[in-house]
Structure 1
Amino acid sequence: MSHPSAAPPVAQPRKAALAAWIGSALEYYDFFIYGTAAALVFSEVFFPASSPATGTLLALATFGVGYVARPLGAVVLGHIGDRYGRKRVLVATILLMGVATFAIGCLPSYGAAGALAPILLVIARLLQGFSAGGEQAGASSMSLEHAPDDRRAFFTSFTLSGTQAGMIVATAVFLPFAALPRDELLAWGWRVPFWLSLVVVVAGLLIRRTLDETPVFAAGAEEAGTARKEGPPIAVLLRHHWAAVLRVVLAALVSSISTLFSVWALSFATGTVGLSRTTMLWVSITANIVALAAIPAFARLADRTGRKPVFIGGALASALLFAAYLWSISSAQYALVFATGILLTGVVYSASNGVWPSLYNEMFPTRVRLTGVAVGTQIGFAIGGFVPTIAESIAGEGPGGWVPVAVLGAVLCLLAAGAAATARETAHVPIAELDAVVAPDGQRASAGGRPQ
Structure 2
Amino acid sequence: MSKTIDTSNAIATTPDMNGAKRTPRKAALASFLGSTLEYYDFFIYGTAAALIFPKLFFPEGDPAVATAGAFATFGVAYVARPLGGLVMGHFGDRIGRKNVLLFTLLLMGLVSLGIGLLPTYEQIGFWATALLVVARLLQGFSAGAESAGASSLTIEHSPEGRRGFFTSFVMTGYASGMVLSTLVFIPVSALPEEQMMSWGWRIPFLLSVFVLALAFWVRTKLDETPVFEEEVAEAGEVKALPAGDVLRYQWADVLRVLLMSIFSVMQTLFTVFGLSYAVDFGGFERTQILTVNATAIGLSMLVMPFAGHLSDRVGRKPLMLTAMIGSTVMLYLYFLALGTGNIWLVFGASFMFMTVLYSGFNGVWTSFFGELFAAPVRYTGMAMGNQLGLVVAGFGPLIGGLILGDGVNGWIPVAVFGTVCALIAAAAALSARETAHTKIEDLGEPFLKATGKL
* TM-score where L is the length of structure 1: 0.94
Corresponding position of 2:220 = 209
Equivalent residues in 2 for 1:193-208, closer than 5 Å: 193-208=204-219
Corresponding position of 2:243 = 234
Partners of 2:446 and 2:157 in 1: how far apart? 19
Partners of 1:323 and 1:348 in 2: how far apart? 14
Q: Secondary structure at the match of 1:212?
A: coil
Corresponding position of 2:35 = 24
Corresponding position of 1:249 = 258
- Equivalent residue in structure 2 for 1:48, among 55, 59, 74: 59
For 1:50, the aligned partner's letter is G
| Deviation sequence 1:187-228 (CA, Å, 0-9, x none) | 111111001122122212111111111111010112455644
- Kept in 2: contact 1:241–1:440 (CA 8 A): no
Corresponding position of 2:161 = 150
- Equivalent residue in structure 1 for 2:362, among 353, 360, 363: 353
- Equivalent residue in structure 1 for 2:102, among 66, 91, 97: 91
| Deviation sequence 1:93-152 (CA, Å, 0-9, x none) | 110001110111111111111010000000000000000001011111111011111111
- Kept in 2: contact 1:25–1:162 (CA 8 A): yes
Equivalent residues in 2 for 1:226-305, closer than 5 Å: 227-228=238-239, 231-305=240-314
Equivalent residues in 2 for 1:36-435, closer than 5 Å: 36-224=47-235, 227-228=238-239, 231-435=240-444
Partners of 1:162 and 1:302 in 2: how far apart? 19
For 1:234, the aligned partner's letter is A
Identity of aligned residues (%): 48
For 1:382, the aligned partner's letter is V
For 1:82, the aligned partner's letter is D
Segment drifting more, 241-250 vs 8-17: 8-17
- Kept in 2: contact 1:307–1:425 (CA 8 A): yes
For 1:98, the aligned partner's letter is G
| Deviation sequence 1:272-303 (CA, Å, 0-9, x none) | 22211000001111111220111111111111
In structure 2, the CA distance between the partners of 1:306 and 1:100, relative to structure 1 (3 Å rule), is same
- Kept in 1: contact 2:232–2:238 (CA 8 A): no
Q: What displacement does 1:386 show?
A: 0.5
Corresponding position of 2:20 = none
- Kept in 2: contact 1:240–1:440 (CA 8 A): no
- Kept in 1: contact 2:178–2:298 (CA 8 A): no
Partners of 2:357 and 2:58 in 1: how far apart? 36
- Kept in 2: contact 1:436–1:443 (CA 8 A): no
Partners of 2:132 and 2:61 in 1: how far apart? 17
- Kept in 2: contact 1:436–1:444 (CA 8 A): no
- Kept in 2: contact 1:69–1:133 (CA 8 A): yes
Partners of 1:119 and 1:23 in 2: how far apart? 27
Partners of 1:66 and 1:44 in 2: how far apart? 20
Corresponding position of 1:450 = none
Partners of 2:214 and 2:97 in 1: how far apart? 19
Moved runs in structure 1, 4+ residues, more than 3 A?
Answer: 5-9, 223-228, 435-438, 440-445
Partners of 1:430 and 1:388 in 2: how far apart? 39
Q: What displacement does 1:433 show?
A: 2.0
Q: What displacement does 1:444 show?
A: 10
Partners of 1:142 and 1:241 in 2: how far apart? 20
In structure 2, the CA distance between the partners of 1:89 and 1:444, relative to structure 1 (3 Å rule), is closer
Q: Secondary structure at the match of 1:439?
A: helix
- Kept in 2: contact 1:70–1:133 (CA 8 A): yes
- Kept in 1: contact 2:442–2:448 (CA 8 A): no
- Kept in 1: contact 2:37–2:211 (CA 8 A): yes
Corresponding position of 1:10 = 11
| Deviation sequence 1:303-339 (CA, Å, 0-9, x none) | 1111001101101101000111011112211111000
- Kept in 1: contact 2:107–2:142 (CA 8 A): yes
Partners of 2:314 and 2:452 in 1: how far apart? 24
Partners of 1:363 and 1:433 in 2: how far apart? 10
Partners of 2:200 and 2:449 in 1: how far apart? 53
| Deviation sequence 1:393-449 (CA, Å, 0-9, x none) | 00012432111101111111111111000001111111122245653549996xxxx
Partners of 1:364 and 1:261 in 2: how far apart? 30
In the alignment, structure 1 segments of 5+ residues that lack a partner are: 446-452
Q: Secondary structure at the match of 2:183?
A: helix
The Cα RMSD (Å) is 1.8
In structure 2, the CA distance between the partners of 1:437 and 1:243, relative to structure 1 (3 Å rule), is closer
For 2:280, the aligned partner's letter is G
Corresponding position of 2:16 = none
Q: Secondary structure at the match of 1:196?
A: helix
Partners of 2:346 and 2:286 in 1: how far apart? 13
- Kept in 1: contact 2:246–2:447 (CA 8 A): no
How many equivalent pairs are there?
439
For 1:58, the aligned partner's letter is G
In structure 2, the CA distance between the partners of 1:444 and 1:314, relative to structure 1 (3 Å rule), is farther
